[in-house]
Chain A
């Protein structure tokens, strides 16, 4: 907890990112107390300007834009979370096996990973979304995205593990009789775990970007409200040409804020974990060797 406090007080990037993401999360959680159901439509209320009753106005199908936005943010975050978790779990298992066991296993897994990297994801996703069209639930979308995003992280984890294996402290541990599982657990994990946590955020970023892109292209279940589908419907009803920015604007701004804050967070956490600055931090009352 002191870690978070330190970061918050001293690192401006972290502060800004943290505040914005809390804002986004608040918006997402507001969806639980929404006075309107997400698929409620009401014709008399369509296309109203922002007012005290409808903070961002209403859209072409009579839905309150603000409350739809809360659902949209919540759902998009959900999809991204599922995708990030799944992809990083697969990547972790793959990377660990590849890196630690080595040999034939490594070669087979690496070729498998490389094959996944080569397949162009966007066309594939478009195709799959198109095939399953209306049957895509949020969970399914998350799983789909997650299943396609593990290749690069797997490569990264593997190379981290390979480099850790060659470090001198590993040799020292092994030569002093430590058993391999213990070496992995005690020596490597303390470094790998934070690294993977910082990496999860990048998985999040990709998934949100993909969800928005696919939905905005009209390829997912358009009845579920997400940031992407909001943009799709706004475009469908020509809100750009009609100057109805209260519909097109909020999802765009929400998406930008979400990704920006996540990126700032991952960047500052990454810098924090960087061994060079870490050292300067830990040197409490100890001896500082000058060179």
Chain B
């Protein structure tokens, strides 16, 4: 067991640390390339409200620079940045000063996470199920039609697909609302009407996400199943008249699951970068919207905060699947 830990688990932990480190560093440096100066922006905004004493402005500038983490040389900023991250302090949002970044993220996160996790998982499952069916029953007509439809949808850029869905179902045939996460003026609660409203508003975005996520699982699973169907052990099991149900689940699915688990973890890990386009097209109040506005307004801290979540999310997701692998594939477990 100890040997296994050293050989398999430890290198991956180290990799996880390095990847997060590099990711955070990149996230730190890139916004600083922007020509926008957040201190200036804030000052301009404040001074537009009323007249201000020039000396007070100077003091304020220093204070702001310090608060925003922009004081001192680049190296000093970098170190103090890491210092704060370790304490889970992502600083204040520059555009919505003094609201802390954490708070902003906390409010918008549930919308994004809820929508995305449901859609990603459903899309993933659907893709695997349909892929297996068409791989195994390759001569059923309706499956062939379904196959052609799905591979036609798969390459379409997400933005275009989302746009088409909005056009078709919120505009031409107005079944679904055009914007928002829930009815305007509704208070989040566990009441039936609120939940229904959430579902109604989230339906189209969810469908768009499901269609996109389904594509990849479907194509991969179809290929895997086709290969497995003619493999030695499946032919052998079929020659012994083992029931189809067992063959599909124990022989085909169990042997094709691994790449899908990888895929799922990566998809889930990217939840934090927010369904940016989705939320843009459907005007959904989640992390993606927040990120978009943050970029537009040059809100360094918020941008960095969200991106850090995203980097950590993906790295952790990769680590988790790497750790799950031995559980799923006995060949790795018992080398």
- Answer whether A and B touch in the complex at a CB cut-off of 8 Å: yes
Instruction: Determine the distance from Cα of A259 to Cα of B212 in the docked complex, in whole angstroms.
Output: 14
Q: Are B276 and A259 in contact (CB under 8 A)?
A: no
> Contacting chain B: which of A54-62, A121-129, A192-200?
A121-129
Whether A123 contacts B310 in the complex (CB less than 8 A), given A111-B18, A115-B19, A118-B315, comes out as yes
Least distance between A75 CB and chain B CB atoms (Å):
16
Contact (Cβ within 8 A) B158 A123: no
Distance to closest chain A CB from B223 (angstroms):
10
Q: A115-B22, A120-B273 are in contact. Are A260 and B155 (CB under 8 A)?
A: yes
For A208, the chain B residues whose CB sits under 8 A away are: 157
A residues less than 8 Å from B155 (CB atoms): 205, 259-260, 262-263
Contact partner of B311 (CB less than 8 A), chosen from A118, A252, A260, is A118
B242 contacts the other chain (CB 8 A): no
- A240, B171: Cβ atoms closer than 8 Å: yes
Report if A250 contacts B (CB, 8 A). Answer: no
Give chain A residues whose Cβ lies under 8 Å from the Cβ of B156: 255-256, 259-260
Question: Does A130 sit within 8 A of B, measured CB to CB?
Answer: yes
- Bound-complex Cα distance A205 to B158 (A): 12
The 8 A CB mask of B174-207 against A (1 = contact, 0 = none) is 0000000000000000000000000000000000
Q: Which residues of B contact A221 (CB under 8 A)?
A: none
A-binding segment of B38-46, B101-109, B289-297: B289-297
* B111 at interface, CB cutoff 8 A: no
Within 28-69 of B, Cβ neighbours of A (below 8 Å) are at 30-31, 33-35
Question: Which of A35-43, A64-72, A171-179, A211-219 interfaces with chain B?
Answer: A211-219
Among B160, B164, B280, find the residue whose CB has the most chain A CB atoms closer than 10 A: B160
By the criterion CB–CB under 8 Å, are B19 and A118 in contact?
Answer: yes
* CB < 8 Å neighbour of B157 from A115, A117, A123, A213: A213
Minimal Cβ-Cβ distance residue in B for A112:
B22
Partner of A130, one of B160, B280, B295: B295
Chain A interface extent, by class:
20 to 34
CB distance from B21 to the nearest CB of A (A): 9
Kindly state the separation between the CA atoms of A223 and B158 in the bound complex, as whole angstroms.
24
Main secondary structure of the interface of A (DSSP, over half): helix
Q: Which residues of A contact B310 (CB under 8 A)?
A: 120, 123
Residues of A within 8 A of B159 (CB): 209, 212-213, 216-217
The reply to whether A263 and B295 form a contact with Cβ atoms under 8 Å apart is no
Residues of A within 8 A of B144 (CB): none
Inter-subunit contact B151/A259 (CB<8 Å): no
B275-296, CB < 8 A from A = 276-277, 280, 291-292, 295-296
Contact B152–A115 (Cβ < 8 Å): no
Nearest CB in chain A to that of B315: its residue: A118
A222-247, CB < 8 A from B: 231, 240
- Over the window 142-165 of chain B, the binary record of Cβ atoms lying under 8 Å from chain A Cβ atoms (1 yes, 0 no) is 000000000110111111100110
Q: A119-B26, A120-B311, A130-B296 are in contact. Are A209 and B158 (CB under 8 A)?
A: yes
Cβ B15 vs Cβ A252 within 8 A: no
Judging by beta carbons under 8 Å apart, are B276 and A122 in contact? yes
Chain B residue, CB-CB nearest to A114: B19
Smallest Cβ distance from B297 to chain A, in angstroms? 10
Max chain B C-beta neighbours (<10 A), residue from A117, A118, A216, A267: A118
Please tell me if B23 contacts chain A, counting CB pairs below 8 Å: yes
Q: Who on chain A is nearest to B312 by CB?
A: A118
CB distance from A40 to the nearest CB of B (A): 28
CA distance A260 to B152 in the complex (A): 6
Q: Which among A252, A262, A267 is the interface contact of B164 at CB below 8 angstroms?
A: A252
- The 8 Å CB contact of B160, one of A240, A252, A267, is A252
Bound form: Cα–Cα A91–B96 in Å: 41
CB distance from A289 to the nearest CB of B (A): 17
What residues of chain A lie closer than 8 Å to B295, measured between beta carbons?
A: 123, 126-127, 130
Expressed in whole angstroms, the Cα–Cα distance for A122 and B31 within the complex equals: 14
B119 in the interface (beta carbon within 8 A): no
* CA of A270 to CA of B225, assembled, Å: 17
Q: B164: which A residues are within 8 A, CB to CB?
A: 252
A203 to chain B minimum Cβ distance, whole angstroms, is: 13
Q: Does B307 contact A (CB under 8 A)?
A: yes
For A117, what are the chain B residues with a Cβ–Cβ distance below 8 Å? 314
Residue of A123, A127, A130 ringed by the most chain B CB atoms within 10 A: A123
Does A127 lie within 8 Å of B31, measured CB to CB? yes
* A267 adjacent to B276 (CB under 8 Å): no
CB contact between B15 and one of A111, A124, A240 (< 8 Å): that residue: A111
Within 8 A of A (CB), among B292-335: 292, 295-296, 303, 306-307, 310-311, 314-315, 318
| Chain B positions near chain A (C-beta within 8 angstroms) | 15, 18-20, 22-23, 26-27, 30-31, 33-35, 151-152, 154-160, 163-164, 167, 171, 270, 272-274, 276-277, 280, 291-292, 295-296, 303, 306-307, 310-311, 314-315, 318
Question: What are the 8 closest A-B residue pairs judged by CB atoms, nearest first?
Answer: A209-B157, A120-B273, A263-B155, A115-B22, A259-B155, A213-B159, A120-B310, A131-B34
CB-defined A-B contacts under 8 Å, sample of 30: A114-B15, A114-B318, A115-B19, A115-B26, A118-B19, A118-B20, A118-B315, A118-B318, A119-B27, A120-B307, A120-B310, A120-B311, A123-B273, A123-B274, A123-B295, A126-B276, A128-B30, A130-B34, A130-B295, A131-B34, A131-B35, A212-B157, A213-B158, A231-B163, A252-B163, A255-B156, A256-B160, A259-B155, A259-B156, A260-B155
Known: A111-B22, A217-B292, A263-B151. 14 other contacts (CB 8 A): A111-B15, A115-B22, A115-B23, A118-B314, A123-B273, A123-B276, A123-B295, A123-B303, A123-B310, A212-B157, A217-B159, A252-B160, A252-B163, A260-B156
